[in-house]
Amino acid sequence: MTGQRRVIARVLSDAADHPDVEELYRRAASLDDRISIATVYRTVRLFEENGILERRDFGGGRARYEATEHGHHHHLIDIDSGKVIEFEDAEHEALIDIIAERLGFEPVSIRLQIFARRRGVQLRGRRQHRPAEPDGSPT
């Protein structure tokens, strides 16, 4: 592994977030100014092909990445801020197992991404949707 790839690997393993290639480049270049954006793209592709890195699509038009070593978890994406919250949920895992078994399958891989908005947040110029009461009238 080249020194530049080692720097990129370190940036990825130190990342507490899910950076895109541009952000990986900024972080890596701050450690080694000889790293080019092309090197970051090639390294990301190589790491992804070798199972070291996983690509995530959280919306916004840019792939974001995390090291495969981060373990089994899921993501909740705040659609207003773009913040990604990692979580684990034993109840969710159990439900997935039950559903798969009922359908005659065994889960091999589970990827859950919840796109959400904080409760009570209202977009400017748009009325916030409120669920209907059981009789069909708005709340």
Residue 129: CA count within 13 A, CB half-sphere: 3
Residue 136, pLDDT > 80, answer: no
For residue 98, the model assigns a pLDDT of 92
For residue 127, the model assigns a pLDDT of 47
Domains of the chain: 1-71 (1.10.10.10), 72-118 (3.30.1490.190)
pLDDT digits (tens, 9 = 90+) for 22-55: 889 999 999 999 999 999 999 989 888 887 787 7
Q: Which residues of 48-84 are buried (b: 16+ CB within 10 A; e: fewer)?
A: eeeebbbeeebeeeeebbbeeeeeeebbebbeeeeeb
Query: Please, which pLDDT band fits residue 128 given cuts at 50, 70 and 90?
Result: very low
Distance between CA atoms of residues 56 and 62, nearest Å = 9
Q: Is the pTM of this model over 0.75?
A: no
pLDDT digits (tens, 9 = 90+) for 89-107: 888 888 889 999 999 999 8
- 130/45: higher pLDDT: 45
For residue 133, the model assigns a pLDDT of 45
**In this structure, are residues 78 and 114 in contact, taking their beta carbons and an 8 Å threshold?**
no
pLDDT digits (tens, 9 = 90+) for 108-119: 777 777 888 988
Beta-sheet pairing, 63-67 with 113-116: unpaired
pLDDT digits (tens, 9 = 90+) for 54-85: 777 766 667 777 766 655 677 788 878 778 78
